[in-house]
Structure formats: C-alpha cells, structure tokens
Amino acid sequence: MCRHLAYLGPTVTLGRLLSEPEHSLVRQSWEPRHQRHGTINSDGFGVGWYAQGDPVPARYRRTGPIWGDRSFTDLARVVRSRAVLAAVRDATRAGADGEAAAAPFAEGPWLFSHNGAVRDWPDAATALAATLSPRELLSLAASTDSALIWALVLHRLREGHDLGAALAAPVRELAEASPSSSLNLLLTDGRTIAATAWGDSLWYLADPEARRMVVASEPYDNDQRWCEVPDRTLLTATRTRVVLVSLREKHAGAPHQGDEGP
Ligand code: GLN
C-alpha cells in the first residue's frame, strides 16, 4: 500500500511539508508507522501542487523512490504552495507503467490518489469498467486498479458531483464487487479535500486558526491534534472545517463546498 497526503493552508514549501517533519512522507516511504499492508513505498512517487491564482495544478512524478531523487529535493526547497497532494507508491503488481501509475492522477483542477488494492484485479472490476465509455477506458492513465478507480471518480466529477459523492459511490460499488479491497482514496481541487478510510489508516490535522488542514495516511509528526479517521468513513474538509460521514450508511457523501481558491 502507499502513503498519501493532502494539504490546504498557508503557503508552505514542498520540503517543509513533505521532507522536514520527523515522520515525513519521505521517511514514510521507507519507514511508515501505521501502514497495514506492505512495507516499503519505493515504486515511484508524485507531488501535485497549485500555484497562486491558477486552478490547474502542476505535477512532478517519478518511477523510483522519493528518497533518491535529488531533483525533487532541490525543487522542494523552493516550490511553495497553499494546496498540495503527494503520494509514495508500493506497487500492488509489478508492471511497466512506471511514472504513469504513480499518483497523483490529474485532470483539470483535480488531483487524486489511491492507497490500497482491488482484490481479484482485474476480474472483480470488469462489470464496473463496463459502466465507462470506450473513450474513458481507452484514456485510462495506466493499467492499474488505481487508474480505473480514478476513471470512475472522474466520470462522476464530470457529471457535476461534489468531491465527496464522487468518491463515495465508486468505493461502495467496488467494495460490493470485491469485498476485501482496500480503498483509501484522496481527492482535492485545491479548495476542498475528500478522502475515504476503507481498509487502511487515515488521519487528519485541523488547525482552523491557522486555516490549515492536513489529511494523510498517517501523522508526519507528534502533534497531539492529529485525529484518526474510523474505517469506512468519508471525510470532506476545507481549510477550516472537517466533516466525517460513515460509509456504512446508505446515503453518505453530502455536498460540501470549498471556501477559497488555491
Ligand atoms: N494498487 C495501487 C497501485 O498498484 C496502489 C498501491 C498502494 O496503495 N500501495 O499503484
């Protein structure tokens, strides 16, 4: 499984957010503390960030481990943002997709990551894949379970669903088709974060006074304000508010609007 993180808050360098904390995402790539499956997240990584006044994020993705990428270290020293989504990957299956399979996946204003695996892939997902158009299937970002989940989420975003609803429906459908799947999804548009806890760890750190929100697979430091999200929960958050809804209930995923741009 992977580790991922989304941030909304005051301007921060990527290094401050992703490398400097004691248990940073970079460290989690070789020494995660709460990861339930797998050990080392060295099969690629990616960072997406929003520049001031631009709704379409930039991405930097690579096929190797984040700890060995000196270009990332250099960029992270100076790139600043108020909205970031980053992930380190432990590939469920070996494959040739490389960088294309590394989150975040992106389209327009959205960044997406999946921490988990669809059990019995691809057989368990064929019926759901058939709900997508041939064009959507031919445009898959990679030949992985995560890329199909992203296509299912994107389909709903394009139909106008809010971020939470766009995650909740595919999680329920996939869990029904393949019950022992782990489906921790993370999505942002630079204003709002939506995430699911479904089979792996998920935490958030809310600091409304500083207008700062972090949602991550696990805490990156020992701040006492980190809260663990219960399994089978949909989280939606802005810089100042967080809402948790159980996915065990039938109609989770109420609309939740962001409050300001990146
Ligand atoms: N199954 C996804 C992949 O192979 C995610 C992996 C993970 O969470 N470790 O990329």
User: For residue 89, which atom of ligand 1 is closest to its CA?
Assistant: 9
Question: What is 69-130 written as a DSSP string?
Answer: -HHHHHHHHH-EEEEEEEEE---SS--S-GGGGSSPEEETTEEEEEEEE-TTTTGGGHHHHT
Give catalytic residues, as residue numbers: 2
Residue 145 CA to ligand 1 centre (angstroms): 8
135: its two tokens:
């064009």
Position 1 scores a pLDDT of 60
Non-local (6+) Cβ contacts of 156 within 8 A are 165, 166, 169, 170
Residue 101 CB less than 6 A away from ligand 1: yes
What tens digit of pLDDT does each residue of 67-84 get? 999 999 999 999 999 999
Residue 114 CB less than 6 A away from ligand 1: yes
Delineate the domains of the chain, giving CATH numbers in brackets: 2-246 (3.60.20.10)
Residue 167 CA to ligand 1 centre (angstroms): 17
Position 250 scores a pLDDT of 60
CA distances to 7, 36, 115, 156, 260 from 173, rounded to whole Å, are 28, 22, 17, 13, 31
The residues of the chain scoring below 70 in pLDDT are 1, 96, 249-262
Residue 182 near residue 149 (C-beta atoms within 8 A): no
Mutate to test the pocket of ligand 1, among 114, 140, 180, 217 (most ligand atoms within 8 A of CB): 114
Residue 215 near residue 6 (C-beta atoms within 8 A): yes
Position 257 scores a pLDDT of 44
Q: What is the pTM of this model?
A: 0.94
DSSP 211: T
Residue 195 CA to ligand 1 centre (angstroms): 16
Position 254 scores a pLDDT of 46
